[in-house]
Structure formats: C-alpha cells, structure tokens
Amino acid sequence: MKILKKMIPCSKYLSESIVEGVCILCNSKNIIDDKCLDCGTSNIPLFYLERKVNIKKHILKMSFSLSDAQKEASSFFLSHYKNRSAAFLNAVCGSGKTEVMYETILCSLNSGEKPLIAIPRKEIVRELYYRLKNVFPNTVIKYLDGENHDDNADLILSTVHQLINYKDEFDLIILDEADAFPYANNDFLKRLVQKALKKNGILFKMSATEKEFIEDDRYTMNRRYHGRNLSMPIFYKMKSKYVTSSNEFKEILNTNRKVIIYVSSVHKAEELSDELGCECCTSKNARTDEIINSFKKNNDKLLVSTTILERGITIKNLDCIIYDASETVFTHQTIIQICGRVGRSYDDPFGNIYIFFEKNSFKFDLVKSYIKRMNES
C-alpha cells in the first residue's frame, strides 16, 4: 500500500487515488484502465495525514536594508496578501525578488498560516534554503527536492513536482521563476500548484522574463537593488567550432575573475570540462551542489555548466560565456537569465557576458532590446 503524507487534513481518512475519473494526486482526467497517464498512479488506497502548525513568534533579521523600489514592491505584495488577491512580480535579474516577499512571508507565519516557496529546479531550492535560514532565525525551514521529504517545518521550500503530495495545504504559495523549465507551459505542474493551494489561498508569481502572459495584477522592477545597469553582452561570431583556440576566448580566461562557461548539452559540458581541466555542473552530475559551493568559496576560476545554472545562483567577481549560443536550448529568455548572473552585488555591480555564436539569430536582438529597455527605464 502506498502511503502519501499531507494531502487532506484528516489523519484517518482513506480514499482511492482515482475518483470519478479524476486522479486526486494531479487532478488529471487522462485516465485509462484505472491508471493516471500523467503521473503514473494506479487506483490504489491512499492514507492522508495532517501537517500541523506550531504557533510561535517569528522574526525577520536582515543584514541589509531594502532599496526604495524593493520597499514599494514589498508594500504592494503585503497589501495583496491582506486583500487575498493574486499578484505577479516582474523584475530584472538581481533586483532582489525574494527579498521583496520577506515581509509577506513573515506576516503569513505570524498569522499561523502555512506558506510555501515553490521553485521549478531543485538546485535553486537548496540555494534559497541556505539564504533564508539566517533571515528567519526563529523559523523552522525545510526543503523538498525529491531526495529530502521532511516537511515538519514552519516554512517549506519545494520543487513544483513535490506538490503532488499536497491538497488544500498552503495558505500562501510564492512561485519563483514562473517562466522556467519545467514549469512554463506545463499544465501538469500548474495543476499541482493549484491543488496544493487552499481554496482561499493566495498565489504570487515572480519572474524576470515572461514566456506567457500572466494576467494577475503586477508590480515591475526595472532596476537591480544596487541601482546599476544590466551588463550588455559582447557577441563573437565563431570562425570555427574550436572556440577554445580563439584569441578572444583565451583573453577572457586570462583574468582574475571567475568564469562560468555555459554549453548546450551534458555531453558538451563533460567534453569541454575535460579539455579545460575543470569541473562541470549538469543534471547527470550528482556532485553539482558540492561543485557550486567549492566554486564560490575556493580559488577555482573556471566552471563549465549546462543551463542548469542559468538561474538562482549569485557568485561575486563572475563573468559568463555562452559557448554555442546558436543552439536552440539557448532561448532569448535563457540568455537573459544567464546575463543576470553577473554584477549582482554592491561590491561587484558589473560583469561581462561573452556570447559565441555560429549563426546570427533574431533572439540576440531580443536580448539586446530587453537589456537596453530595462537600463533606460
């Protein structure tokens, strides 16, 4: 018998997983022979257990002050939270989207509610967990990423996929990177978010780029929290497929700055990291967390990565290279996100992005147009 935790607030309730042609795990109607074709669940009994809230005083402890734009955005979302209405934060990379939500999260916690921050990718979930532990020192925070399943916490951070284990559970869901793979254009994952949200719950979405129009009331932040411009990428037309032998590539690496080289596939990442004698981060590498932490803290200057690190990481003194930008995996939204990895701190507000491409593309014009528009606003 499969036992799933935390779906309906009743510790003794027993139900079938498919009710009247609907899978109660993912709300799918794609059922054949008592099996859900979307999440793979067969019609087996499920136990539902309640996750209780411990009422206590939560505090917010920040080592910095919000910018004026962040304060305005924070008030905007706190007002929508109190009015129980959805909203969307459209903000450039490095503007401090998560910090804008701190006051609302604190209010939800001190109201005895169950808040959750949902993020499409598990690497960013873990990154955020370490940041928030110091910001909410009296709050028990846990993260769910498919490997960790302990949700005995006041505040939960989770990948969207893990929301399959919840129904009518959360009073507030903050969905970060709403345009990111695998959430964007994925009806299955959108159903999981709606299922996990209480009937009177509030959903806030955040993103720097927008792949599909979001109708919710929105607040836009066009500037980074330190007020400096986004860096405009430098484009290089590849004269041959051997980019590493080019003078431009060698000069980029011959600096005192850290460099992440983004490539379009796991195979290319492994191949290039072997050539350059450095580590690589991919979805197939079980040491990705360890590698990122080492790259941040140690003297390692070079790292190769797939788009797994396009979002959510902040590293000082960083430049970025997109090695084969003509490949379709590098959409203009992805390139914008990679550009947003540099210049994210007061101490290092500028950084360089180098884009090597074989064939020119309209997406490069979209990237330049976006950055120019944000910098001029």
CATH number corresponding to 234-376: 3.40.50.300
Parallel, antiparallel or unpaired: strands 318-322 and 353-357? parallel
- Contact criterion met (CB below 8 Å) for 344 and 94: yes
* Full pLDDT tens readout for the chain, 377 residues: 233 444 443 433 445 677 778 887 888 888 887 788 888 776 665 555 567 888 899 999 998 888 888 999 999 999 999 999 999 998 888 888 899 999 999 999 999 999 999 988 887 888 899 889 999 999 999 999 888 888 899 999 999 989 988 888 999 999 998 877 778 778 888 989 999 999 999 999 998 877 667 788 999 888 887 778 889 999 999 877 778 888 899 999 988 899 999 999 999 999 999 999 999 999 888 888 889 888 988 878 999 999 989 887 888 899 999 999 999 999 998 999 999 899 888 888 889 999 999 988 999 999 999 999 888 87
Report the C-alpha dihedral over residues 104, 108, 109, 114, rounded to 10 degrees.
-120
Domain boundaries, the chain: 1-50, 68-221, 234-376
The rounded distance, in Å, linking the Cα atoms of 316 and 341 is 9
Q: What was the pLDDT predicted at 6?
A: 42
CATH of domain 68-221: 3.40.50.300
Q: Cα separation of 62 and 266, whole Å?
A: 38
- Tens digit of each residue's pLDDT (9 = 90 or more) over 221-259: 888 877 788 899 999 998 777 788 888 999 999 888 999
Read off the pLDDT of residues 30-49 as tens digits, 9 standing for 90 and up: 888 778 888 877 666 555 55
Cβ-contact 24, 4 below 8 angstroms: no
Place of tokens 């970025």: 320
| Same fold flag, 68-221 and 234-376 | yes
The predicted structure's pLDDT at residue 15:
55
Position 348, amino acid: D
Percentage helix, strand, coil for the chain under 3-state DSSP, each rounded to 5: 30, 20, 45
